[in-house]
Amino acid sequence: MTIRRSFLTGLALLALIMPSIASAKDIQVAVAANFTDAAKEAASAFEKKTGTHVSLSFGPSGGFYSQIQQGAPFDAFLSADAERPTKLETEGLGIKGTRFVYAYGTLVLWSATPGFVDSKGAVIAKGKFEHLAIADPASAPYGVAAVEYLKKRGLYDAVAAKIVKGSSIAQTFGFIDTGSAELGFVALSQVYKSGKGSRWIVPAGDYTPMDQQAILLKDTPEGRAWLAFLRSPEGVKIITSYGYKVHTS
């Protein structure tokens, strides 16, 4: 009887600790919405390679920055800009020395309607549309880039009343994809593989370069391995397959 009780007690204790053992290699990563598809593919490849499961959360970089400041339990952060990871490192919320550019983002003017966006982006100046979608500049770097372009080209005042803002670049894409907005500014990665509709790549010199930086928030072997994977040949191949540029030297 004593042996049976000991056995049952052992099973009970094992049941209690098993969840922690199973999740020991899991990591939580906050990911800028523009990097959604690339991150999913990279996380799947990383898990097959290492056995570590990467739990991904997607949203605007500004929103994640605020959450991390308030103690959100992320192990790493893939931002759409360099500003917020730099601040986190300075504030002691990111692991010093782990910050790097994992991708360079590209801004695109896109419409779900074929032929609506011309090869020079002149459709905006013509103004023959009701709504122009952009990501909210307050939280999304791609929204900042869109506003920079419009102001540099002297178009902002003319279209300001037609602008609709998405809380993230993902919602902005949704506005355009469903026809709620005839056109708008999205990330090249969101339309790179689909070929749907019509698009024009905004000249890189018309907005501040989007150096999308990653930073480790908790110093764990799994977290470091994840960031290292993004910089590996396999990781770079996945990232560039979505239209991103990567500096590999």
Binding residues for molybdate: 61, 169
**DSSP string for residues in 107-169:** EEEEESSTTSS-TT-THHHHT--S-EEEE-TTT-HHHHHHHHHHHHTT-HHHHGGGEEEESSH
Cβ neighbours for 77, distance < 8 A, ≥ 6 positions apart: 29, 30, 64, 68, 84, 85, 88, 94, 214, 215, 217
| Spatial separation of the C-alpha atoms in residues 244 and 238, rounded to whole Å | 9
Residue 244, by phi and psi: left (phi above 0), alpha (psi -120 to 50) or beta?
beta
- Annotated binding-site positions: 61, 169
The sheet carrying 107-111 orders its strands as 163-166, 132-135, 183-187, 107-111, 198-201
| Spatial separation of the C-alpha atoms in residues 183 and 186, rounded to whole Å | 9
CB-based contact 59:33 (threshold 8 Å): yes
